[in-house]
Chains A and B, each alone.
Chain A
Amino acid sequence: MSGGAGGPSCLETNDWICGEYLRTRSQELVDATVQHIGITAVSVAIGLLIAFPLALVARRWRGAAGPVLGLTTVLYTVPSLAMFALLTPVFGVSASVVVTGLVLYSLTILVRNILAGLAAVPAEVREAARGMGYGPARLLYEVELPLALPALVAGVRIATVSTVAMTTIGSVVGYGGLGNLIASGMEGFFKAEVLTASVLCVLLALLADLLLMGLQWLLTPWTRAQKRAKGRARRVARVAKAVA
C-alpha cells in the first residue's frame, strides 16, 4: 500500500490506509475524538436528566403518558440534518445546536426504556416494600430503580451508541467531532482521513457500549447471583434426572 523508502508516500498516492497520516495528524485526530466524546457524553447525560422525570410523570398520570410518548416519537422521525437545521436559528452556529438535537433524539429511547423497566417491577415486590413501610420516594430509589436498572441501562446503551453515530452530522455546523474530519476528507478527496475517522467513530461506539455493559454488571450483583443459582438448579435437576 504505502510506498517504501524512496517511493511516493501514502499521503501523495492518497491511500485508504496511511500510517503517515496517523503520525502527522495525530493531534487533529485526538482533538476530534475528544470533541466527539464530549458532545456524546453531555447529550446522553442531559437526555437522561430530562427523560427520567418525564418517564415518572408519564407513569404517575395516565393522561400524560400518551402526549409524552407521542411527542418524543414525533421528534424521532425528524431527520437529523433537518433537526440541526431547525435548531440553528435558535442557538446560532454552536455546539448547543448539536447537543440539543441529540438530546431530543435520545429522549424517545430513554423514556420508553425507563417506563418499560419500571412497569416490569413485580407488583408483589412493590406491595411488600410498601408493607415494610417504604414511602413513595424510598420505594422508587431503593426498590423500583434497582430492579429497573437492566432496562434502563439497555436504553442508555442504545441511546449512547446511536448518539455517537449521529454526532457526525454535527459537522454541518462545525461541531461534529470525528464527523468534521469525515466532511473535510470528503471535500478534499482525502481517503485516509475519511476512513480513519469513520473507523474511530465505530470503535468509539463499541467501546462506549462495552463500558456501559460493564457498568451494569457492576451495579447489579444480584442478577449474577440469580443466574448462578439458576445454573446450579439446572445442574441439580439434570443430576436428579440422571440418577432417577
Chain B
Amino acid sequence: MGAIAGSWQWLTTAANWAGEKGVWHRLAEHLWLSALCLALSTLIALPVALWLGHLGKGGALAVNLSNMGRAVPTFAVLVLLTLSPLGRHGDWPTVIALVLFAVPPLLTNAYLGMREADRDVVEAARGMGMSGPQLLLRVEIPLAYPLIMTGLRSATVQVVATATLAALAGGGGLGRIITAGFGNYDTAQVVAGALLVAVLALTVEGVLVLAERLLDPMRGRRRAARTGRPHSTRPASS
C-alpha cells in the first residue's frame, strides 16, 4: 500500500526527526507532558483512594466518578480550557484536562483494590495488634497492589494516548505530526505520526507490565491462581 511505503520513507528521512518540529522534539514534549500529568494525578488520586479505602467509605463516589468521566469528551474539555483564560498559558489547558481524566481510573482501581484486600486477613492483622498506619503499609497496600497498578497502567496509557489530542487544541506532542499531516493532506506523514504514537502507547504498556511484575511487594507469594480481577478500561482517548 502506498501510504505505508510513504510513511516508511517519511520515518527514515533524517530531516523529519531534527529541529523544533521534528520527531525527537515532539517525542520529548509528549513524554514530558505525560509524565507531568501522571505525577500530578497520582499525587491527587492515590492518597484519597488509600484513605477512603482504609476507612471503607465513599465507594459509590469513586465508582460514579469514573463512570461519569467516560461521558465527557476529552476533546471538548481541551478546547474549552484552551478558550478560557487558562489558554494563554501554553500547555496548562492540556495538563489540566489530562489530569482530570487520569484521576478517575487511578482512584477507582486503588479504592477497589483496598476494599478487595481480603477482609479476614486485615482483621487478623488488626487482631495481632497492628496500628492503622502499619495495617495500611504492611497489609492493605501490598494486597491492593495489583489493582493499584492496573489503575496506574490504564491511567498511563490513557494519558499517553490522550496527550495526542492536545495537538487538536494547539498543544505540543506527537499529535502535532498527525494534525500537521492532515493540514497538508500529506497521508504519509499522517500515517507515520499515527504509527509513532501507537508504538509509543504499546511500548509504555509493555514497560509498565514488566515494572508491575518486578516491583510487586509480594512477588512469588501471590497465588498464580488469582481469579480475574476487575479491570478499568477506558478508551485510548476521547
- For residue A209, give the distance in angstroms from its CB to the closest CB of chain B: 7
When C-beta atoms are compared, the residue in chain B nearest to A109 turns out to be B233
Q: Which of B79, B169, B175, B198 contacts A78 (CB 8 A)?
A: B198
Are B1 and A112 touching (Cβ within 8 A)? no
Task: Flag whether B42 is at the interface (Cβ < 8 A).
Answer: no
Are the CB atoms of B76 and A105 closer together than 8 Å?
no
Query: For chain A, what secondary structure do more than half of its interface residues adopt (helix, strand, loop), or is it mixed?
Result: helix
Interface set, chain A 153-189, CB cutoff 8 A to B: 158, 161-162, 164-166, 168-169, 171-173, 179, 182-183, 185-186, 189
Q: Are B157 and A194 in contact (CB under 8 A)?
A: no
- Name B's interface SS: helix
C-alpha spacing A77/B72, complex, angstroms? 19
Interface readout for B1-44 with A: 1 if CB under 8 Å, 0 if not? 11110000000000000000000000000000000000000000
Instruction: Report whether A85 and B182 are in contact in the complex, using a CB–CB cutoff of 8 Å.
Output: yes
Residues of B within 8 A of A85 (CB): 178, 181-182, 190-191, 193-194
Chain B's nearest CB lies how many Å from the CB of A97? 11
Residue with the highest number of chain A CB atoms closer than 10 Å, among B75, B77, B161, B238: B75
Q: Residues of B within 8 Å of A, CB-based: how many? A: 50
B197 near A76: Cβ-Cβ < 8 Å = no
CB contacts (< 8 Å) of A233 on chain B: these are: none
Which residues of B come within 8 Å of A, CB atoms?
1-4, 67, 70-77, 79-80, 82-83, 157, 160-162, 164-165, 167-169, 175, 178-179, 181-182, 187, 190-191, 193-195, 197-198, 201-202, 205, 228, 231, 233-238
5 contacts between A and B (CB under 8 A): A79-B164, A86-B195, A158-B233, A162-B238, A206-B71
